[in-house]
Chains A and B, each alone.
Chain A
Amino acid sequence: MSKVASGIVSSQKEPLLTPELLSQLERLELVSRKIFRGRMKGERRSKRKGQSVEFADFRNYVAGDDLRFIDWNMYARLDKLFLKLFMEEEDLHFYALIDGSSSMEFGDPSKFHYAKQLAAALGYIGLCRADRVKVEMLDSSPTSSAPVLRGKGNLWRMLQYLDGLQAGNNCTLAEAVKSFSLRNSGKGILVLITDLMDKSGYESALRYLVARNLDVYLIHVLSQPEIDPDINGDLRLLDCEDGDVAEISVSQRLIDRYRQTLARYIEEAREFCARRGIVYMMTSTERPVDRLVSRYLRQRGLVR
């Protein structure tokens, strides 16, 4: 079996994040469409009025309010008690979940590497904004070694962790997400990076996430050979995860049908996500990570 033919090339030498990308990412921040109560005070502007230096509004004093926030200048001028409201700045939970199944190893660069790059990029944005960042590979095991990181200085730890990840952990998406959900209770943004190639279906996994009331982003990564297969002749296709075999005689008609099937599959996933408030995005490994983050994810509102 030729790895070239199957498109499996590991270009692990390529660094997950380049300095150019890092400087680009530093100017971005993660945006949640939902308001979450942070655990710690962070740099994130919360919808809650809080104690940051940024002025937000005035309101009338009512009994029991903290006297420290009374605007005495206003009282002197108007002889009325006004309470000064400040913007609250909080931290945010950011989870990046990487599908680690064998199928992710395909493509050049491999989908897995692409997923790690993307996770690192988004994680770095979170670290820069002092969010609680957790990058994790999906796993059905009840424990996880993934560190919870915070602060720009922890970038190296994140990268070190990502570098150590190896694909080939074949569990179903649903099991892995369920395990994750049990272990992590924090609310916030969750980005699931997967190729959705799970024969048992992705629907239940996404339902778990929706039930957690997370702000879920699904990034569907496909390699170019999957989108536009360039194969000839009579082939016996071997599934790398479960060894399943499909015998095909490649014809233009078959290729056309495959494309139709893929398009339908993507459309189904998009629709499923749209109904459940999940932001779905399909990307090819050909699309550079920086462009994906700075343009496409920005359009979808994940970063700004």
Chain B
Amino acid sequence: MLGPMGWILLGLVPPMILLLYFLKLRRMPLEVPSTYLWTKTIEDLHVNSIWQRLRNSLLLLLQILLALLLLLACLGPGCQGQKLAGDRFIHLIDQSASMSATDLPGGQTRLEFAKQEAAKLIDSMDSGDAAMIISFSDRANVQQSYTRNRSLLKRKLAEIQQTQRSSDIGEALLAASGLANPGRTSDRESERDVQVADALAASLIIFSDGAVKDVANFSLGNLAPEYRPVGALDVPNNVGITAFAISDDLDSVGLQAFAQIQNSDDEDHSVDVELYVNGEIHDLQNAFEVQAGDTRGISFDLSGLLDGLESPLPVRLEIKDPDVYLLDNVAYGTIQPPRQARVLVLTRNNPYLQYVFETDRLAKLSQVEFKEPGFLQTKEYRDNAMLGVYDCVIFDQCIPEAMPQCNTVFIGSVPPNDQWQASEREFPTLVVDTDDSHPLMYNVQMGNVLIIESTRLSGPQAMVTLMESTAGPIMGVGPRGGFEDLVIGFPIVEYSDQGEEAHNSDWPNHLSFPLFVQNVVIALGGGARFDANQGTRPGELVNIRTVVPSSTITVRDPEGETVSLGSRGDRRFVYGSADSTGIYSVIDQASNREQQLFPVNLLDPRESNLVVREKLEVGYEEIAGTVESIPETRQFWPWLVLFALIVLILEWFIYNRRVFI
């Protein structure tokens, strides 16, 4: 569109051309003695005259150029550039799994598009501007710290790889704010409160699809955020698996696989879902309907697979219908061979424990031995304890001389080391809090449980308090090397020397007691019959524990690459390269057999929901997305007018001086 300036200029063009026409084309008559010589002179020029004339009519050419320039200037040409304000820029590039969605035109992935857009911004930087590139998934990577070198920036930008991780922008924001908001000492009142460095304000440009956790407790400070949503504007077609689990309810139904299928599209979809066990198709469900924006559960029967199973089996659940985001179309799981926990219970005839272990459920999960505390003194116990024969030993009001090489439970006593201390028993004991989130307290309701007397516990630094009374912790679990010790500060049934039975708590009368014992067997005894290992996500560390002691193990990733790991003590190994989804196997180096399998799944409903978020919440601020990148027309017409003016001056000079350059 022409502005008023443009119209004025446009109006000036015709009179100017007219003026120049008069100046040039009205030939002045002049009488000369003879045209003889002039005619002779012109005759030479008349040879291919039109070109000669054009070649010589510099004035005419200049006039045409002038008119063209002015007309061009009036059209107001500009280019769609992007203007970056400020002189320091931080580009945050989301490289999480959802950025691999190919919902953009041309099948481009979101990450590629984000990299392109960032490259454009880098190109449009002024020469003095510095920029920094941070990529983030569930962790942040400073790809390039502040530099003015644009080619370096673009090279580093191109090096950003797609990951299969979830996204968490918090760490990236911290990294970004490092320079913009330099830290201060904590005590503002102190004289020593010094600002570490000068704050350098910067523009923060976030290229993301918005599928990130909202960041609380973060102040942007000197960062001026700009959120550039990446992704198709209409809701992308994606149906994905957002949860997958294989479990045995230990009842009649048997082994089952459960999955959640999420449809983040705004249309209903029906998909074909297939379940593969050990690479072969085991079950399928055709035309599984999922409504728009809905999540539906699906289950497959795997019963019968456990019979006679000796080595773990890989399981793969697959949605056969392709969509723009393929990562969530596959989920992995494993079926582990059934294994019972070996539990030793050292008690003086505690009937409630016996009752609990006799239930069907715990009988399936565990293989339990009941012994009197006197068993502690036998050689058999010492050998078994040292060799790690037991998975879990329950000490009911007794204390071993040395801690066994397994997990332990102490009821009414504390482990024989300096870390655990118990106070005198205090009355009354009122339970005020339990840690419901801990696996040991899963489904354990203590509200109606009466406890008469209990000791207050203090344990190692990493102790987790599971139950707290008005006086303090009365139940806690703490690590010991690779094992865990659960200490319960109160006995349940006490026996006097005369053998009289005295109840200190009515806990065994409540449903929560067998549930608690079952949790103990599963969590501390390794009593789960199979381990779906659903918690492992791409990029997370995987803790591997071998059955038999071994100094090194080999882990093979889904692509078949192997890596050897050294032990970190206590048969524990840490694998940190689980960057892609799939089934990883632990290979026993001696037998070259797959000893363990562990699946790595993203299973993140947020990543699977490909709808581009319109805003990001960072701390108390909401950053609204600029859906289209902000176009800024770079105006060229002032330059054209300037050039036209120069041409005009040149023309005038030539006209007056008859100078040919």
Interface size on B, residues (CB 8 A): 29
B39 near A: Cβ within 8 Å? Answer: yes
> Chain B residues with Cβ under 8 A from A235's Cβ?
27-30
B41 near A: Cβ within 8 Å? Answer: yes
A232, B32: Cβ atoms under 8 Å? Answer: no
A231 to B36, CA, bound (A): 17
Q: Which of B168-225 contact A (CB under 8 A)?
A: none
A99 to B435, CA, bound (A): 133
Identify which of B33, B37, B57 contacts A249 (C-beta below 8 A): B57
Among A51-59, A256-264, A275-283, the one that faces the other chain is: A256-264
Known contacts A246-B42, A257-B45, A258-B38, A1 near B33 by CB under 8 Å: no
> Chain B residues with Cβ under 8 A from A253's Cβ?
56, 660
B44 near A: Cβ within 8 Å? Answer: yes
B658, A232: Cβ atoms under 8 Å? Answer: yes
> Chain A residues with Cβ under 8 A from B29's Cβ?
1, 235-236, 238
B57, A238: Cβ atoms under 8 Å? Answer: no
A104 to B25, CA, bound (A): 30
A241 to B35, CA, bound (A): 9
A251, B660: Cβ atoms under 8 Å? Answer: yes
B27, A234: Cβ atoms under 8 Å? Answer: yes
> Chain B residues with Cβ under 8 A from A255's Cβ?
658
B35, A237: Cβ atoms under 8 Å? Answer: yes
Q: Which of A76-121 contact B (CB under 8 A)?
A: 102-104, 106, 111
B425 near A: Cβ within 8 Å? Answer: no
Which residue of the partner chain A has the closest CB to B659? Answer: A252
B379 near A: Cβ within 8 Å? Answer: no
Q: Which of B644-661 contact A (CB under 8 A)?
A: 655-656, 658-660
A231 to B58, CA, bound (A): 18
Whole-angstrom distance from the CB of A153 to the nearest CB of chain B?
A: 37
Known contacts A197-B36, A255-B658, A240 near B41 by CB under 8 Å: no
A182 near B: Cβ within 8 Å? Answer: no
> Chain A residues with Cβ under 8 A from B658's Cβ?
232, 250-252, 255
B44, A252: Cβ atoms under 8 Å? Answer: no
Which residue of the partner chain A has the closest CB to B55? Answer: A253
> Chain B residues with Cβ under 8 A from A241's Cβ?
34
> Chain A residues with Cβ under 8 A from B57's Cβ?
249
> Chain B residues with Cβ under 8 A from A248's Cβ?
38, 42
Which residue of the partner chain A has the closest CB to B43? Answer: A261
A260 to B38, CA, bound (A): 11
Identify which of A111, A245, A251, A265 contacts B37 (C-beta below 8 A): A265
B27, A1: Cβ atoms under 8 Å? Answer: no
> Chain B residues with Cβ under 8 A from A195's Cβ?
33-34
> Chain A residues with Cβ under 8 A from B45's Cβ?
254, 257
A231 to B37, CA, bound (A): 15
A254, B41: Cβ atoms under 8 Å? Answer: yes
B33, A106: Cβ atoms under 8 Å? Answer: yes
> Chain A residues with Cβ under 8 A from B26's Cβ?
234
Whole-angstrom distance from the CB of A111 to the nearest CB of chain B?
A: 8
A239, B30: Cβ atoms under 8 Å? Answer: no
A14 near B: Cβ within 8 Å? Answer: no
Which DSSP category, helix, strand, loop or mixed, fits chain A's interface?
A: mixed
> Chain B residues with Cβ under 8 A from A232's Cβ?
656, 658
> Chain A residues with Cβ under 8 A from B424's Cβ?
none
B41, A261: Cβ atoms under 8 Å? Answer: yes
> Chain B residues with Cβ under 8 A from A262's Cβ?
37
A68 near B: Cβ within 8 Å? Answer: no
> Chain B residues with Cβ under 8 A from A66's Cβ?
none
Whole-angstrom distance from the CB of A6 to the nearest CB of chain B?
A: 5
> Chain A residues with Cβ under 8 A from B660's Cβ?
251-253
Which residue of the partner chain B has the closest CB to A264? Answer: B40
A64 near B: Cβ within 8 Å? Answer: no
Known contacts A234-B27, A250-B658, A223 near B33 by CB under 8 Å: yes
B559 near A: Cβ within 8 Å? Answer: no
B438 near A: Cβ within 8 Å? Answer: no
Q: Which of B56-92 contact A (CB under 8 A)?
A: 56-58
A260 to B42, CA, bound (A): 12
A270 to B41, CA, bound (A): 20
> Chain B residues with Cβ under 8 A from A164's Cβ?
none
B1-43 near A? 1/0 per residue, CB < 8 Å: 0000000000000000000000011111111111111111110
A265 to B140, CA, bound (A): 89
A179 to B407, CA, bound (A): 148
> Chain A residues with Cβ under 8 A from B58's Cβ?
251
Known contacts A250-B658, A252-B658, A252-B659, A199 near B30 by CB under 8 Å: no
A249 to B655, CA, bound (A): 11
A20 near B: Cβ within 8 Å? Answer: no
A63 near B: Cβ within 8 Å? Answer: no
A197, B34: Cβ atoms under 8 Å? Answer: yes
Q: Which of B358-398 contact A (CB under 8 A)?
A: none
Identify which of A8, A198, A234, A261 contacts B25 (C-beta below 8 A): A234
A71 near B: Cβ within 8 Å? Answer: no
A65 near B: Cβ within 8 Å? Answer: no
> Chain A residues with Cβ under 8 A from B42's Cβ?
246, 248, 254
Whole-angstrom distance from the CB of A192 to the nearest CB of chain B?
A: 17
Whole-angstrom distance from the CB of A263 to the nearest CB of chain B?
A: 10
Which residue of the partner chain B has the closest CB to A222? Answer: B33
Known contacts A253-B660, A257-B41, A236 near B35 by CB under 8 Å: no
B38, A237: Cβ atoms under 8 Å? Answer: yes
Identify which of A102, A111, A236, A244 contacts B30 (C-beta below 8 A): A236
Chain A residues in the interface with B (C-beta under 8 A): 1, 5-6, 8, 102-104, 106, 111, 195, 197-199, 223, 226, 231-241, 244-255, 257-258, 260-262, 265
Known: A253-B56, A254-B45. 5 other contacts (CB 8 A): A8-B31, A102-B33, A232-B658, A234-B25, A250-B658
Cβ contacts A to B, 19 pairs, < 8 Å: A5-B30, A6-B31, A103-B34, A106-B32, A106-B33, A199-B34, A199-B36, A233-B655, A237-B30, A237-B35, A239-B36, A240-B32, A245-B35, A246-B35, A246-B39, A251-B56, A251-B660, A252-B658, A253-B56
7 A-B pairs with the lowest CB-CB distances in the bound complex, closest first: A103-B33, A197-B34, A246-B35, A239-B35, A236-B27, A106-B33, A234-B27
